[in-house]
Structure 1
Amino acid sequence: MSRPQRHVFVCAQQRPPEHPRGSCAGKGGTAVLQAFWAELQKHKAHDTIAVTYSGCLGPCDGGTNVLVYPEAVLYSGVTQDDVAEIFERHLLGGEPLARLVAPGEAW
């Protein structure tokens, strides 16, 4: 595998439903992760983009959370319907999707 230009971490943290912080898995994290993997396949971008599931990225109440490096952009409230736009605009086009960027105080 070559060094990716961008690396995406998708929170798939699973906590019990009654946990006070909630969890990204409980807010669709697994579907978001699978949508990123599908976009990776669709664009045949395995040499330039890496997609990895992760544990907690921090602001659980705003999940599903997605972190993109090297820019260190944290997206919150991501749904599987947002993934294609993030992939096209940010991962391929280099422009973060402002409407989903987590507020600075969240992370």
Structure 2
Amino acid sequence: MFICINQRPEGHPKGCCSGRGSEAIREYFKEEIGRLGLKGRVRANAAGCLDTCQYGPSVVVYPDGVWYRVKNLDDAKEIIERHIQRGETVERLLMPKA
């Protein structure tokens, strides 16, 4: 999975995922992956801008190519439990189609 941690100057019209807590979300994903013994199967990689700033923090899960908007740690937990562990897409967190 890739988690956008792009940082823009304060007040930038697009905003940024980092300013919305994406670094803490990435750390949570990393900790949970380790705690659940998923290292080697799943990685929580930092990404630059994924060009979905208006929806961020943005997370994309590969190889599935599923794009999520993750607002808080509860959303991240749901992605771990449902998508990563059970292979279910978390419909309510899907990134809107452009």
Report TM bin, short chain.
over 0.9
Which residue of structure 2 aligns with residue 54 of structure 1? 47
Partner amino acid for 2:15?
G
Partner amino acid for 1:78?
K
CA distance in 1, matches of 2:66, 2:82: 13
Q: Deviations over 1:23-63 (max 9, x none)?
A: 00000111110110111111010121111010111110111
Which residue of structure 2 aligns with residue 103 of structure 1? 96
Secondary structure, in 3 states, of the residue corresponding to 1:104?
Answer: coil
Give the conservation status (yes or no) of the 8 Å contact 1:66–1:78: no
Secondary structure, in 3 states, of the residue corresponding to 1:50?
Answer: coil
TM-score by length of 1: 0.87
CA RMSD of aligned residues (A): 1.0
Greater than 6 Å deviation, 4+ residue runs: none
CA distance in 2, matches of 1:20, 1:93: 37
What is the aligned length?
98
Which residue of structure 2 aligns with residue 40 of structure 1? 33
Give the gaps of 5 or more residues in structure 1: 1-7
Percent of residue pairs bearing the same amino acid type? 38
